[in-house]
Amino acid sequence: MSGNPRPVVFGCFTYQLSESERKFFADCRPLGLILFQRNCRRPSQVKDLVAQFRDAVKNEDAPVLIDQEGGRVARLRPPEWPITYPAASFGKLWQRDKAKAVEACFQQGKLIGAELYNMGITINCAPVLDRTCPETHEAIGDRSYSDQPDAIAELATAYAEGMKQAGVLPVIKHLPGHGRAKVDPHKQLPTVVCTEEDVLADAAPFMTMAHWPLGMSSHIVFKNIDPQKPASLSQGVIKKIIREKIGFGGFLFSDDLDMKAISGMLSDRAHQALAAGNDAVLFCNGNLQQMTEFAARMKPMTDEAYERWLHAARTRVTHPASFSTLMAQDHLDKALAEFAPAEAQG
């Protein structure tokens, strides 16, 4: 087990790695790196940053992640990168023309995947499978495809398939569902009071995509399942709901442990998340001192988790077929013309 990487994906501070960051990543050997808008100036610079990280950890296949959902959650933005559309736009189109919406969603996934692949980014933390409810907080808002589970499942699958064909692995999120949360976990801990049956009804799209290899758990307390801990820290939610009832058997990331929804010492947060059944955790703020503290008590990834990671990694298309991005973008823009340009930015 000692040869396995540490089960954490860290952020970094800016557009390139400092010498201190290089040394930290070399010594720590985290599973991967996640990029944010603060790290992305232009395509060539992002490609160099990705290479710097992989050189530091001495692993040319080390995963590099990003959140490029489309719409307002897009770390890569114009003018250096194309406009992308929020999930809700595809859901609206689905109401009128299901086949057209599914094809457009596939094209967006493929286009985003191609952009990421060309810079060396191998994992996109998308699609969002959360179901819109009357109480859904704007933190999800138009990031959700629909209030209809069948629409979410079809559209999210198309988006994921497009990305996969372009050489990038998708992450289904936020297990077991974020739609009933009334507050933003970036700012405070959401608590949801509903039956287990309601949770599973909302989770129907996750059940449809449970065979996909990567998922992310949410920082939401489901009072009638575990009244004390959010899903990301709850063995009951992860084992009983995510693993058994939903049937997700893939590699599970926690959502970012730097969110205000989670309290306590950084190392304790990681310990709780891993003990609950996450395979790896995200810690994204790029603060080197905090990352050092975070990693100090973190052991290498378990063999079981590492095997799940290797299985996921083997599903990635390493040499995707080329395609006309201009034709794909034209197809996408025409399909969603009535929602652009304002809604294209979310």
Q: What CATH code is carried by the domain that includes residue 257?
A: 3.20.20.300
pLDDT at position 266: 84
* Contact call for residues 147 and 135 (beta carbons, < 8 A): no
pLDDT at position 264: 85
Environment class of 135 (CB within 10 Å of its CB; exposed 0-12, middle 13-18, buried 19+): exposed
For residue 138, what are the domain limits?
83-108+126-285+313-336
pLDDT at residue 40 is higher than 70: yes
Q: Name the residue with tokens 């287990």.
A: 196
- 187 belongs to a structural domain: yes
Half-sphere exposure of 143 (CA within 13 A, CB side): 24
Active-site residue, selected from the candidate residues 255, 256, 258, 279 = 255
The Cα 39–Cα 98 span in angstroms is 37
Has 27 been annotated as catalytic?
no
Active-site residue, selected from the candidate residues 27, 97, 150, 186 = 186
Average pLDDT over residues 84-91: 95
- 2 belongs to a structural domain: no
Model pLDDT for residues 260-286, shown as the tens digit of each residue:
889 888 889 999 999 999 999 999 999
Provide the percentage of residues in the chain whose pLDDT is more than 90.
90
Model pLDDT for residues 226-261, shown as the tens digit of each residue:
999 999 999 999 999 999 999 999 999 999 999 988
- 96 belongs to a structural domain: yes
The Cα 312–Cα 306 span in angstroms is 10
- 222 belongs to a structural domain: yes
Which residues, at least 6 apart from 30, have a Cβ–Cβ distance to it below 8 Å?
5, 6, 8, 9, 10, 57, 295
- 226 belongs to a structural domain: yes
Has 186 been annotated as catalytic?
yes
List the strands of the sheet with 169-170, edge to edge: 169-170, 123-124, 64-66, 30-35, 6-10, 280-283, 251-256, 214-217, 172-175
Higher pLDDT, 318 or 341: 318
Express the helix, strand and coil content of the chain in percent, nearest 5 each.
Answer: 45, 15, 40
- 279 belongs to a structural domain: yes
- 168 belongs to a structural domain: yes
- Nearest alpha-carbon partner for 45 in 55, 60, 35: 35
- 332 belongs to a structural domain: yes
Number of folded domains in the chain? Answer: 1
